[in-house]
Amino acid sequence: MGWKEVFLCALVVSVVVSENPIWRKLEGDLEPEAEAEVAPFEEVDESYRLPTVTAPTHYNLHLRTAIHRNERTFQGTVEIFLNVLQATDKITILNRDLVIRRVTLYRDGAEPELLETPPFDTDPRTEHLTITSSQQLAVGSYMIKVEFDGRLQENNNMGFFRSSYLDNNRNRRYLASSKFEPTHARSAFPCYDEPRLKATFTLSITHGKDYHAVANMPQEGELEPDQDDADFVTTHFQKSTRMSTYLLAFAVSDFAIRTSGYQTVYARSNVFEETEYPLQAGVDILNALSAYTRVEYTDHMPKMTQIAIPDRGTGAMENWGLVAYGEPVLLFNPSVNTYRNKKTVDTIIAHEYAHQWFGNLVSPDWWDYIWLNEGFATVYEYLAAQLAYPEKRYMDLWNVEVIHNAFAADARESIRPMTWNAASPSEIAALFDTIAYSKAGSVLNMFRVVFQDENWRAGLLEYFNQRLLDAAVADHLYDGLQLAIQGKDVYPTGFTVKQLMDSWTTAPGFPLLTVKRDYKNGQIYLSQERFLSDRQLPNSHVFHIPYNFATQTSADFDNLHFDWLSSKAAKISTEAAENEWVIFNKQQTGYYRVNYDPQNWELLIDALMADPSVIHVQNRAQLINDAYNLARADRLDMSLPLTLMKYLAQETAYPPWAAANTVLTYLNNKLRGTEHYPAFLNYVHSMLDTVYATVTVETVQDGETMLDKYLRQSITTWACRIGTADCLTRTEAALKQAVQSNIPVHPDVSSVVYCYGMHNSGETEFVWLYNRLHTSKNQAERSLLIDSLGCSQNKEYLKAYLMSAFGTNNLLSTERTRIVSAVYSTSRAGVDAMVEFLMDETIVDEFISSLGVGTLNNAIANIAARTNNAAEQQQLEDLLGKLGSRVSASTAAAARATVASNFYWFNTLEGLIVGEFLEGFVEA
């Protein structure tokens, strides 16, 4: 048999029927999906909100699960102690898909007084569970007892849900855990599932005796044997701190536990060694946050547990005292995981731990203020990680990873503002988007810098003290900051913190600051308008913009004193000479773009070409990102950013290369497969060759910093991508050596070596990498290996690899779809293999059956996005014809429209300018 047949036979042998659960990205994940656009100022249906005539004070919740036997059903009883605030005959709480067996109403007191067993009804639209008393309930304290049954969720990682993993003997083990934010507590027990309706909780869980339960609070007393079934025990937990329902958390599993003081990490036993680093990181980061906030974590919560949930993806949830993570973002194995994995572990722990203050200690009054949670957590995701590990300089990544990401989403006309109301569960879920995370973080960090960090911390302490264990709106934050900065000369006279910050939080978008100079007298005209990526529209909104600037003779980028533009335009005076540059927004701490008149742009380009170090590294990244996006928005000629980027031949810092990566990726996608592509490769070579000579491709040097590793990966990826012979030779040799010795390469070079080493390697190397994937228990390593295998240029290997996505028991559902995207994402060879694979009618039906029509639609869309010439267009048309009705008319039409747009780009002004610019890089 040929290699393909041998490989497939091996896969068939390993196929086992399994109930491997499917997961998809959760609401609120740290890397959100592209969100749907929202029309500002849309009315919401307030009927989803609970009536305000009652409010909870305490829950006694008991659950029973047989997850150890993989039973989906669970049983529960909840006693809800509540206050009637206004005489009523109805108590309304929330219920999603629970079967309510019985409701009993009591008057609360030293001994609860049974009143009645009232009727009840659930509205499936609003999910209101309304309990109707036969009598008017006077203002006072009551208790309702609700007995109910439910089913563990699966395939969505929400509510009370089931997960599983394979142990070392390849037996499937099951566990159950919770994820309630934002509206899923009601699917686990009837409750007042709104963030401001806080209460205390006393929890108990009955479960298999060989499993253990963990929750927000420590265990109370000994395990209690079950009176009815000797195979079960009950774990009781201490009464909780007052908190929102979405923060209640628990898990039932057979996990191993690693402990350090009051912190623990829970994970499956066959990855126990990977819990050492996250436990220590948790200790370091929580200590740093306690010191920074001046609110000691243990003053309000006695313990901190981190739990790694298998098959949960890359999400995480900040439950108070029990933070849950997908395995790839918590577990760390230094022998196989990269510096980027470690960065992810550090920053996601910091993000979730920051929530212990921002969201848990003080919660948003309603989801319209979710930025009070996620914006702050995004800031301290980087800042707290840097406080714990200052040598890693995490804040050096802030601009290119957070601000630039926020700009991309926030430049759309229909984007929502930070403060945005929502009512239904789907509307609320949609709020967990780039605006809540990256934009809110960018705006908050701007004000942290402007108000100065020490004042900021004092304002946060005031905010915490005023709203401790309660809910907040934006004005509460503003009040705390106002008290802290009063008289400190860090904000403009005549304005308040509320006025300044509301101009950013209640309006969509962000400003473009336009700088026009009068070179004869040194005066500068500043104007502001809302920046949109695809148009210019009149807008009367005024952002209060904190600005500063450096000049060629006063290039002090560290003095971050600010002035304010609180009008649509203003004129300022400078000492800048006619022949020297000015640059605004020092270190790009402000959340806005800057455009200059042509002469100043030319002065900046000349300065970069002469000596890049005269401009701060973050401003070098800013200039690339701003110039490129201004050109995309038709505010600059595209030749300007392309000319500016020629200075990169002298650039040895990572942030500017990260900004350039966006530009180069865009152009690579537009130009590959066209007549302009050879010139584009020469253009990239001209910038890359010098810095490439300073980095190593296949080895890690002593003393390398984290940013050195970021730079090396960026440079070597581009060098190999554009076909640099030395890069491809080195990666191929390093991969072959790894295979021969059966010793993997250093993790920090593995992504480049494995991917580009595959380009000219054969069966032996492909099978070696596949076997490593098959045996690896580390989900982050598995993802890297999946992507690396997709880099092969051999279409037969790739088609066999695609076939493997259909059945092997060792693959998670997300890994199956990742194999598909890995094949079409890396090169045209992968796209061709994908097309040929889908042309086989005997395969495509199994593809749809196994992976879903959504995966097929995504593949079609991505093939279309990578179609740049007539031959590729015909290939796509042949595929669409072969697939017939398996692909909807709308999917086919969208694919054809994408191709038409790709072709039309060369007739646009942007396309014509790019083509003309690249003529200067055509080899003679």
Q: Catalytic residues, which ones?
A: 352
Whole-number Å distance between alpha carbons of 51 and 29: 30
Cis peptide before 182 (omega within 30 of 0): yes
Among residues 574, 571, 579, 651, the alpha carbon closest in space to that of 618 is found at: 651
Q: Which two tokens stand for residue 173?
A: 């083990």
Whole-number Å distance between alpha carbons of 506 and 488: 25
Q: Is 28 left (phi over 0), alpha (psi -120 to 50) or beta?
A: left
Whole-number Å distance between alpha carbons of 188 and 76: 9
Task: Describe the crossing of helices 617-632 and 654-671 by its angle, rounded to 10 degrees.
Answer: 20
Among residues 617, 640, 615, 613, the alpha carbon closest in space to that of 627 is found at: 640
Whole-number Å distance between alpha carbons of 471 and 397: 32
Strand 212-215 and strand 250-253: pairing?
antiparallel
Whole-number Å distance between alpha carbons of 490 and 452: 8
Interior CA angle at 493 toward 491 and 499, to 5°? 65
Given a contact cutoff of 8 angstroms between Cβ atoms, the answer to whether 777 and 270 are in contact is yes
> How far are the Cα atoms of 120, 126, 492 from residue 93, in angstroms, in the given order?
11, 10, 46
The SS3 of residue 541 is coil
Q: Which two tokens stand for residue 638?
A: 């595209």
Whole-number Å distance between alpha carbons of 380 and 373: 11
Q: Which two tokens stand for residue 540?
A: 């009367």
Q: Which residues pair with 593 in a beta bridge?
A: 512
Whole-number Å distance between alpha carbons of 688 and 723: 12
Whole-number Å distance between alpha carbons of 430 and 447: 26
The residue type of 172 is R
Whole-number Å distance between alpha carbons of 294 and 317: 23
List Cβ neighbours of 918 (8 Å cut-off, separation of 6 or more): 671, 676, 679, 680, 683
Cβ neighbourhood burial of 72 (10 Å; 0-12, 13-18, 19+): middle
Whole-number Å distance between alpha carbons of 244 and 298: 18
| Phi/psi of residue 503, nearest 5 degrees | -65, -20
Given a contact cutoff of 8 angstroms between Cβ atoms, the answer to whether 405 and 439 are in contact is no
List Cβ neighbours of 666 (8 Å cut-off, separation of 6 or more): none
The SS3 of residue 298 is helix
Whole-number Å distance between alpha carbons of 304 and 298: 9
The position carrying tokens 């004042």 is: 455
| Phi/psi of residue 878, nearest 5 degrees | -60, -40
Whole-number Å distance between alpha carbons of 102 and 99: 9
The SS3 of residue 35 is coil
CA atoms within a 13 Å half-sphere pointing along the CA-CB vector of 638: 18
End-to-end Cα separation, the chain, in angstroms: 49
Q: Which residues pair with 94 in a beta bridge?
A: 128, 191
Q: Which two tokens stand for residue 792?
A: 């092969």
The residue type of 211 is Y
For 557-567, letters b (16+ CB in 10 Å) and e give: beeeebebbbe
